[in-house]
Structure 1
Amino acid sequence: MKLRLRLALTVVAVTVPVVAGLSLAQRSLRLRSQEEVLEASTLAQMQAGERERCEAAPESWTVRRGPPPREPSRPPGGFEGGGSAPDSEPPSENGPGGPSGQRPRPDMGPPPDFGPGRSGRPPPAFAHFPYDDELVSRNPSAPVISEDVRQAVRSGESAVARRSTREGRAVLDVLLRMPWEGGPCAYVLARRVEGPGAPVEGIPPPEVLLVPLLAVVAVVVAVGPVVRRVRQLTGEVRASAVSRYQQPVSVRGNDEVAELARAFQEARAEIQSQLSQQEAREQALRDFLANTMHDVMTPLTVLQGHLSSMQQRTGRGEAPEPTVLASAMGEAHYIASLVHNLAAAARLEAGAPQVQRAPVDLNAVIARVIGRHQPIARQRRISLESGVPEAPVWVSGDVTLIEQAVSNVVFNGIHHGREDGHVAVVLESPRQGRFHLRVIDDGPGIPEEERSRLLERSFRGNAARTRGLEGQGLGLHITHHVAQVHGWTLSLLPSEYGGLEVGLEGEVTGG
């Protein structure tokens, strides 16, 4: 639904009840005012001399003013039949044109608000009828008082008003108790009949019905500039989306539309930042896959060559060469370590929710790492040893990541060490609630300027401790990341035996 139509309907929905309520309130006040004026004028007339004339001739007394209305087809509601309408009554001696020739005095004329109106409509007609204490009139033209009006009088009401409509004309009847006791004029019925062309009660005047229409027109005209700005902003937002949010939107003013444009600008900046990060991750993933394929394919190709050579020798009935078998085992060990590192890197980069913390026994972790790497260490004639306390050392963390971190350090010590060398894994007894785990080798040393860069993801170190010229360099990078996730510290120091000493230190738990 269009904004203009929505606002127009909203205005109508709000205006119509308000106008209807005001119209009803105005009508109620106007009707009440008519009753009060009719009561006051009737009492004033009776006290100004009409009482004596009424009591002198109650059979023919009546007071009429204004043009006579047409003869009604039925009596008005509230006062039952038995008498004719005021316009059909014979002239009385006190009425206009009566035998006495008397006419109503100026002070008995119609009230100013019911006189000949400026609208050009005929003024209303007035008539009065006398009743005694029993609500019986000696005037045969007087209407018969209905039972409900009698009940209201008996209950003590001094003025009872009833309204009706006769042939499209509004009729107001007010039965008044006079301020004296007894007599044929103890009550007076004052009747007011609107002239032709007067508005029928209950139908609001045309000017009231025009209010909602004028309100709708005003809203449609006033909301035009807002609609144009919203449409312009919509076009700019769509154009920005087509340009992958490179094109900005214009912000004009300080109203709600401008606030909406500023909010879109903020969202656009956030989307651009996320797109840039996504593109960077995609590029890093492409580079990672390319390098990983090289890292995997190189040892896999070597392994395939060794397996083919051993198959040929076995087919000729010859024993495999020990050096070829050892190299094949080394390549398989390297591939397995690389796959484990890739899985660990994926978990670490997925964020903290992927890290499952639980009590971990470092003694058991070291035993599993030593058992996994011992075969390849023997093939390379490297002595792999460990030293742990008798009591288990418990820490809180992710056992898979911790084991992979220790395995990476031991793997580096074996694969970068020299033949007939040594690799030792030493776990010291906890002191002051902290453990200290060291992996020491006697392989080629690393210059100090390179040790500070070994923790970088793609840094490989010098050729003495590098498998090849290219690769991911994930081992120590993952170990460093695992240490950070668990709140541990990782240190790289020169070994007293000429190689490298890698240390892990952190808090212990109660197990």
Structure 2
Amino acid sequence: MKLRLRLALTVVAVSVPMVAGLGYVQHSLRQRNQAEVLEASTLARMQAGERERCEAQPETWRTRRGGPPRPEGLGAPDRPPRPEGPGGPPPEGGPGVVMHFAYDARLESRNPRAPVVSESVRRDALEGRTSVVRRTSENGESQLDVLVRMPWSEGPCAFVLARRLAPRGPPLGGMPPPEVLAIPFLAVLAMVVALGPMVRRVRQLTSEVRASASSRYVAPVQVRGNDEVTELARAFQEARAEIQHQLSQQEAREQALRDFLANTTHDVMTPLTVLQGHLSTLQQRLRRGDALDPAVVGDAMGEAHYIASLVHNLAAAARLEAGQPQAEFAAVDLNAVISRVLGRHQPIARQQRIALESGVPEAAVCVHGDVTLIEQAVSNIVFNGIHHGREDGHVAVVLEHSREKRFRLRVIDDGPGIPEAERARLMERRFRGNAARTRGLAGQGLGLHITQHVAQVHGWALTLAASEYGGLEVVLEGPSST
């Protein structure tokens, strides 16, 4: 249903009971006005000379305008009328007839034609009320009776009954006057005219929203004015900005995924090709019955270890670079993490004749964090120490815990180390492409980038410094939960 039609129907639905109420009020006021006019005219008539005529001939005094009346019981239309004389019926009344009858202080009339006063009217009049009004209807006529107390309290004309007979009209006084009936029509007309500009603005806003959606929310939605339609346009504009932000994030994630797949293929295929070459060499020597070359076996193990570490790093990088990492925080035992990392790297360390050692407190040191990310960060530091260490060298993992509930994890090696300028550059580097994935000195960029990001997620500090043994010392420190 269109907006204009809906509002027009709403106005009509509200106006109909309003018009009915106004008609009822008008009808009530008209009836009240009729009773007041009849009371005032009766008092004025009696004070203008009718009192003397009434008191001079109370048995026959009666006034009327119009045709002869048809008196009935006052306030009791179902009661049979009092007869006029022996066996004579009361005269018939006609439309617009006004009659007056006189009563004494006890509400008794000496005129046999006067209507009988009902008990309810008698009770109200004798209580001191200046007038008593009763309305009845019968045989298609409405009857208005007003019993008026005269300023004098004695004599046969202490009360005067004014009776008005008229054809009975429609319920509630019939149709309201034209000015009342015009209210709903004027309201509907004003509503239709006033809604014209608003409907046009809503249609224009609908067109702009559709155009923005068809352009993948590049086209803006105009915000004009300062009303509810403006608020709606502003809400659409805010929704458009949010959708654009979500689309840009989605495109960034998709681009990161494409880059991840491309770089993974490139980075994994190089060591995998080298590993295949080593395995082919070993296979040829086995076929010839030659003894295995320990150097070839060691190189093959190193390539396999590198591939495993690279795959773990690529997965962690994709998880961290895609936006908010879905870290699952829980209690993490750093002692157990160090034990698992050393167990994973011990075979390759022995192959390269590097002593991999550790020193941890007897009591478990626990932190609140994501165990997978923490283990990958520690593994990256240990891998760098082994991968870039010297033969017959050492890599030590030392975990310290203070009374202030802070931990300090140090990975120390005695390898060639990294110049201070290179250390600062590696700490500032972000994962952005192949430059951070090479296997040379810059190859530490991926692992250290992941470690630095994990530290930021957990609120820890990561520092790189020259070790006292000539190599590199990497330190992770932060609060503990034990």
Taking structure 1 as the reference length, the TM-score comes to: 0.79
After TM superposition, give the deviation of residue 169 of structure 1 in Å. Answer: 5.2
For the 8 Å contact 1:63–1:128, the answer to whether it is kept is: yes
Specify the alignment match of 1:110 in structure 2: none
Specify the alignment match of 2:352 in structure 1: 380
Residue among 178, 181, 187 paired with 2:150: 178
Aligned partner of residue 338 in structure 2, secondary structure? helix
1:36 corresponds to which letter in structure 2?
Answer: E
Q: Which runs of 5+ in 2 are unaligned?
A: 85-89
Tell me the alpha carbon deviations over residues 362-398 of structure 1, each in whole angstroms, 9 at most, x when there is no partner: 3333232222210111112222222334555444433
- Rate the CA distance shift 1:31–1:316 in 2: closer, same or farther, 3 A: farther
Aligned partner of residue 386 in structure 1, secondary structure? strand
| In the alignment, structure 1 residue 82 sits paired with structure 2 residue 68 | no
Tell me the alpha carbon deviations over residues 20-48 of structure 1, each in whole angstroms, 9 at most, x when there is no partner: 33333333333222222221221222233
Q: Which stretch shifts more, 314-323 or 222-231?
A: 314-323
Give aligned-pair identity as a percent: 68
Specify the alignment match of 1:408 in structure 2: 380
| In the alignment, structure 1 residue 356 sits paired with structure 2 residue 356 | no
For the 8 Å contact 2:260–2:314, the answer to whether it is kept is: no
Specify the alignment match of 1:104 in structure 2: none
Residue among 203, 207, 215 paired with 1:231: 203
After TM superposition, give the deviation of residue 484 of structure 1 in Å. Answer: 1.4
Specify the alignment match of 1:270 in structure 2: 242
Separation of aligned partners in 2, 1:155 and 1:318: 140
Alignment of 1:2-401 (within 5 A): 2-65=2-65, 67-68=66-67, 78-79=76-77, 80-82=79-81, 89=91, 124-133=96-105, 135-153=107-125, 156-165=128-137, 170-181=142-153, 183-194=155-166, 201-207=172-178, 208-303=180-275, 306=278, 321-345=293-317, 348=320, 351=324, 354-358=327-331, 360-390=332-362, 392-401=364-373
Specify the alignment match of 1:457 in structure 2: 431
Aligned partner of residue 226 in structure 2, secondary structure? coil
Tell me the alpha carbon deviations over residues 258-288 of structure 1, each in whole angstroms, 9 at most, x when there is no partner: 3332333333233323322322222122111
Separation of aligned partners in 2, 1:382 and 1:22: 103
Q: Which stretch shifts more, 146-155 or 256-265?
A: 146-155
2:392 corresponds to which letter in structure 1?
Answer: D
- Rate the CA distance shift 1:44–1:437 in 2: closer, same or farther, 3 A: same
2:52 corresponds to which letter in structure 1?
Answer: E
For the 8 Å contact 2:256–2:318, the answer to whether it is kept is: no
Separation of aligned partners in 2, 1:43 and 1:446: 123
After TM superposition, give the deviation of residue 55 of structure 1 in Å. Answer: 2.7
2:393 corresponds to which letter in structure 1?
Answer: G
Aligned partner of residue 402 in structure 2, secondary structure? strand
> Cα RMSD between the aligned structures?
3.7
Specify the alignment match of 1:103 in structure 2: none
- Rate the CA distance shift 1:309–1:124 in 2: closer, same or farther, 3 A: farther
For the 8 Å contact 1:444–1:465, the answer to whether it is kept is: no
- Rate the CA distance shift 1:72–1:319 in 2: closer, same or farther, 3 A: farther
For the 8 Å contact 1:170–1:193, the answer to whether it is kept is: yes
- Rate the CA distance shift 1:297–1:147 in 2: closer, same or farther, 3 A: farther
- Rate the CA distance shift 1:311–1:59 in 2: closer, same or farther, 3 A: farther
For the 8 Å contact 1:416–1:464, the answer to whether it is kept is: no
For the 8 Å contact 1:174–1:191, the answer to whether it is kept is: yes
For the 8 Å contact 1:74–1:166, the answer to whether it is kept is: no
Specify the alignment match of 1:480 in structure 2: 452
- Rate the CA distance shift 1:425–1:339 in 2: closer, same or farther, 3 A: same
Tell me the alpha carbon deviations over residues 177-202 of structure 1, each in whole angstroms, 9 at most, x when there is no partner: 33444544333210123479x77644
After TM superposition, give the deviation of residue 49 of structure 1 in Å. Answer: 2.4
After TM superposition, give the deviation of residue 320 of structure 1 in Å. Answer: 5.2
- Rate the CA distance shift 1:75–1:445 in 2: closer, same or farther, 3 A: same
Specify the alignment match of 2:87 in structure 1: none
Aligned partner of residue 436 in structure 2, secondary structure? coil
After TM superposition, give the deviation of residue 505 of structure 1 in Å. Answer: 2.3
After TM superposition, give the deviation of residue 128 of structure 1 in Å. Answer: 0.8
Separation of aligned partners in 2, 1:396 and 1:247: 46
Separation of aligned partners in 1, 2:243 and 2:268: 36
